[in-house]
Structure 1
Amino acid sequence: PVAAASIGQVYKAVLRADASPTGERMTVAVKCQRPNILETVTLDLLTIRGVVDFFCTVPGEGNKKLRQDAQGLLAVLDLAATRFLEELDYLQEAANGARFEREMNAVPVMRDVVKVPSVLLDYSSRYVITQEWVEGVKLTDLEGDPKYANEEGAALRADVVRKLLNAYMVQFLETGFLHADPHPGNFLIQPDGRLCIMDYGMMTEILPDQRLAFVEYMAHLTAGQYSKTLDDLVTLGFVSEELAKDPAKREVVGPVLAQTLSALYAEGGGLDKKVEILDQQAQSRIGEIGDKLEELSKEYPITLPPYFILILRAFGTLEGLGLSTNSDFAILEECFPYIARRLLSDDSPRMRSALRTFIYGGGDRLNVAKVEDLTRGFGSFTNAMEAERKVAVTGEGSLAVRSSATPSGQLDAATKELLELMFAPEGNYVQELIIEEAVRAVDSLSRDALVQVWQRLPGAPPGAL
């Protein structure tokens, strides 16, 4: 075999011309499942579930917390077990791969950036899956190869992580079909620079309403509007609605949530640095409020919805990859370019509200710094994806860092798209905001001019306007 894992092995083979969908000899990857793996895994899962189920029913008031934790773990285990058993069904994986390829190709900014190898359904079964063979360098090899152990190699790895994160943001918040097993061995960097994503046994689906709620949450978190993030967490199923409706309880939860979220996501660095920040907070007034929150959590526990487990696993792995290239890697900061693009290009009512909240901060004064952040993030994502697309289309790629610089005298892709948004004949919310600010500016200038004229008139009483 050319590769092996816990449940299967991969072989390289060649289809005869008369058996190939292309009519020519075709190199393929054939993954075969190990014998009796289903029975072994099922027995292990049943045993673990029996133990957890026992703790769910331990009697006594003093064991209430133990029962709550066990019930939460049981929900997680049931989800993980279902997905793991699905991973053993190669027909399901083949269907996942075909759907994943179709949906990623349907997103213009991803079409020429991400490669999903085609599945050959006619040569796949419950225990065997056949896909087109793809050449490239595995991310694991990129990390361990001495020839990439220099500044250029570090920049290349950082570029790959950025590309990965952008691809996952599109899956998470746009297509809603997320590859939930992002360990380095599942990624290839092709000679033309495209990112190849493999292994579709573990996928998860994010519903449209959840996708919108996550965009709102990240927009509010990035803008520092932590009170709104509490409402977002209620919508997403993390926090009890009853807790969020009580003003006194919000006063307890709000400050702690703000500081904790900032430390975990807005700050860069690994676990040790985040723990250090949280320890410092524990010594402050936030720490005193945190004691109240601990008491409150006994009545209203913050839960992790089962659907979020695989999402958390995926982005936790991506953050680990990011930290391997940059010790100050901040996941929220790296995700923001996609959020900025989504806020400006999605004209749905909820995205309109999130955009307004982000740039006005809940008031009526435009925050120029936030507008700059938004346009900079939009430009970063759009230009980076366009640079990747051009390289793939022209076939002039190589395993090197892409430059998103635009030749002198030409508009870059982000500027073109922003201009299209501003002058779109069908109209959109960005145009409405520009008009609103223009009217406000004209009104202010007109008033200032009128005041100056009035003050120059003989006998005009001061402060009459």
Structure 2
Amino acid sequence: VYKGTLVGGGDEVAIKVQRPGILAEIALDLFVLRLLTPLQTRLQNAINGVPTAQADLDVAVALVDEWGRGFVAETDYRLEARNTANFAASMVARGLDAVCAPSVVEDLTRDRVLVTRWVEGTRLDQDASPDVPRLCGVAINAYLTMLLDTGVLHCDPHPGNLLRTTDGRLCILDWGMTLAVPPELQYALLEFIAHINTEDYDAIPQDFVNLGFSPEDVSVERLRASGITDGLSFAFRQLSAGGGPKKIAARVEGELKQRYGSELTGPELEKRAQAEFLQAAEAQLASEGIDVKGVTNVMEELSKRNRELFALPPYVLYVARAFSTLEGIGLSVDDDYAIVQECYPYLARRLFTDRSPRAKAALRAMLGLGAPAAQLSQQP
């Protein structure tokens, strides 16, 4: 990226020039990565002591392909220009004046050259201004709006692409990699968040199917029996308390000490937790008519069952990357930052203003007024 000045007007601009042959380099890298991915998957599974099924290889290669799609899309500068302009217009239309994107100089933009107005600012994670915490909230609002409203999510939110402008706004740069979020997925996410918020774990299995985390032919009853809700409950409780990985680890250790004994050391607590997990897994498998004993056999059977019950939709990678980056920036200015808590104001506003039946049902669920899971999944 170069900095230049427009002839005549004197305006400063950013000039992004594509390196010659970059598409061929990306294609070669992806080809090699696709060749090595099955080997890496088998090696990783061997280290973890579980067998490798064809489904494992298929998922791994599919994830590589999805990353490849994003990398190739980044070479289309006209597409990036449209994404940039569309985002800016969508924020203005929604009255979100605190967030912006660089203005595109359309008559100078080409397939391999992108020209935008220069934006003066500093990286959000390196700025010491007192309004940075507010801008972290602005960033959360912007990304939730993209995910759950406009349907186009910015997928490259590393700290260098989030600027605090000199006039105190948040500017999001680099719109080459985006993710389309269809309405059906938006409502499925809203329902899932509503059920998690009110700890309505009976509805979570259906949410997993709606979100693509589980195949449609997997029964809700089997998902409930898998124990997935217990893990989600624990994880959500820790995320809601905030503080990032270090404080979460400390809280988890505190809970384990309370459960198994305050005198135990870290490794001893880990052994106790593993033993309890193994016992519960054996009991669960036995209830399904599967008689297995021993760590290796249980883990192998669980691995097989998890492949049947669960999947990792490619969109999860982009969403997780976006919000983990935002959480990292928030933690850099507040050690107790809780991204889950930051999401609630937007989610409440989103549900209160959406008149669709599914949004109304999700709002009732979030308010604890109740709505059958089947009803949520059947609404148009």
1:101 maps to 2:88: yes
Pair 15,78 (structure 1): closer, same or farther in 2 beyond 3 Å: same
Pair 63,326 (structure 1): closer, same or farther in 2 beyond 3 Å: closer
Correspondence for 2:175 among 200, 215, 221: 200
Instruction: Tell me what 1:444 maps to.
Output: none
Instruction: Tell me what 1:262 maps to.
Output: 236
Instruction: Tell me what 2:13 maps to.
Output: 28
Count of residue pairs brought into register by the alignment: 334
CA-CA distance at 1:264 after TM superposition: 5.0
Instruction: Tell me what 1:344 maps to.
Output: 352
Deviates more, 1:266-275 or 1:67-76: 266-275
CA-CA distance at 1:212 after TM superposition: 1.0
Give matches, 1:326-345, under 5 Å: 326-345=334-353
Instruction: Tell me what 2:108 maps to.
Output: 123
Give matches, 1:64-79, under 5 Å: 64-65=51-52, 67-79=54-66
Instruction: Tell me what 1:11 maps to.
Output: 2
Give the counterpart letter for 2:220 in structure 1: K
In 1, Cα distance between equivalents of 2:312 and 2:2 = 39
Instruction: Tell me what 1:271 maps to.
Output: 245
CA-CA distance at 1:257 after TM superposition: 3.3
Instruction: Tell me what 1:232 maps to.
Output: 207
Maintained 8 Å contact 1:189/1:196: yes
Greater radius of gyration (CA): 1
In 2, Cα distance between equivalents of 1:75 and 1:319 = 27
Instruction: Tell me what 2:377 maps to.
Output: none
CA-CA distance at 1:93 after TM superposition: 1.5
Maintained 8 Å contact 1:55/1:70: no
Give the counterpart letter for 1:12 in structure 2: K
Deviation track 1:92-129 (CA, whole Å, cap 9, x = no partner) reads 21222222222222222x1x221122212221122211
In 2, Cα distance between equivalents of 1:67 and 1:272 = 36
Pair 290,275 (structure 1): closer, same or farther in 2 beyond 3 Å: farther
Deviates more, 1:132-141 or 1:169-178: 132-141
Instruction: Tell me what 1:133 maps to.
Output: 118
In 2, Cα distance between equivalents of 1:313 and 1:162 = 17
Give the counterpart letter for 1:299 in structure 2: R
CA-CA distance at 1:346 after TM superposition: 1.3
Pair 54,188 (structure 1): closer, same or farther in 2 beyond 3 Å: closer
Local SS of the residue matching 2:235: helix
Pair 32,73 (structure 1): closer, same or farther in 2 beyond 3 Å: same
Instruction: Tell me what 1:419 maps to.
Output: none
In 2, Cα distance between equivalents of 1:131 and 1:363 = 48
Give the counterpart letter for 1:156 in structure 2: D
Pair 245,321 (structure 1): closer, same or farther in 2 beyond 3 Å: same
Instruction: Tell me what 1:387 maps to.
Output: none
1:87 maps to 2:74: yes
Pair 255,182 (structure 1): closer, same or farther in 2 beyond 3 Å: closer
Maintained 8 Å contact 2:101/2:173: yes
Instruction: Tell me what 2:31 maps to.
Output: 46
Instruction: Tell me what 1:422 maps to.
Output: none
In 2, Cα distance between equivalents of 1:231 and 1:289 = 23
In 1, Cα distance between equivalents of 2:207 and 2:215 = 11
Instruction: Tell me what 2:317 maps to.
Output: 309
In 2, Cα distance between equivalents of 1:119 and 1:69 = 43
Give the counterpart letter for 1:298 in structure 2: K
Instruction: Tell me what 2:366 maps to.
Output: 358
Instruction: Tell me what 2:149 maps to.
Output: 174
Pair 113,102 (structure 1): closer, same or farther in 2 beyond 3 Å: same
CA-CA distance at 1:185 after TM superposition: 1.1
Local SS of the residue matching 2:227: helix
CA-CA distance at 1:47 after TM superposition: 0.6
In 2, Cα distance between equivalents of 1:355 and 1:286 = 37
Pair 359,95 (structure 1): closer, same or farther in 2 beyond 3 Å: closer
Unaligned runs of 5+ in 1: 1-9, 18-23, 143-147, 365-465
Pair 177,328 (structure 1): closer, same or farther in 2 beyond 3 Å: same
Deviation track 1:376-431 (CA, whole Å, cap 9, x = no partner) reads xxxxxxxxxxxxxxxxxxxxxxxxxxxxxxxxxxxxxxxxxxxxxxxxxxxxxxxx
1:165 maps to 2:140: yes
CA-CA distance at 1:140 after TM superposition: 4.5
Pair 242,42 (structure 1): closer, same or farther in 2 beyond 3 Å: closer
Deviation track 1:138-158 (CA, whole Å, cap 9, x = no partner) reads 32441xxxxx3xxxx4x5332
Instruction: Tell me what 2:294 maps to.
Output: none
Pair 118,331 (structure 1): closer, same or farther in 2 beyond 3 Å: same
CA-CA distance at 1:214 after TM superposition: 0.7
Deviation track 1:222-267 (CA, whole Å, cap 9, x = no partner) reads 11212222221210011244544226x5144254234333245323
Maintained 8 Å contact 2:87/2:101: yes
Maintained 8 Å contact 1:79/1:306: yes
In 2, Cα distance between equivalents of 1:184 and 1:57 = 34
Give the counterpart letter for 1:136 in structure 2: G
Q: State the identity as a percent.
A: 37
Q: Which has the higher contact order (CA 8 A, sep 6+)?
A: 2
Local SS of the residue matching 1:227: coil
CA-CA distance at 1:322 after TM superposition: 1.6
Pair 159,78 (structure 1): closer, same or farther in 2 beyond 3 Å: same
In 2, Cα distance between equivalents of 1:132 and 1:194 = 15
Instruction: Tell me what 1:7 maps to.
Output: none
Local SS of the residue matching 2:171: strand
In 1, Cα distance between equivalents of 2:174 and 2:231 = 36
Deviates more, 1:65-74 or 1:254-263: 254-263
Maintained 8 Å contact 2:81/2:175: yes
Give the counterpart letter for 2:167 in structure 1: D
Local SS of the residue matching 1:104: helix
In 2, Cα distance between equivalents of 1:80 and 1:263 = 31
In 2, Cα distance between equivalents of 1:264 and 1:176 = 29
CA-CA distance at 1:44 after TM superposition: 1.4
TM-score (norm 1): 0.65
RMSD over equivalenced CA pairs, Å:
3.0
Maintained 8 Å contact 1:171/1:178: yes
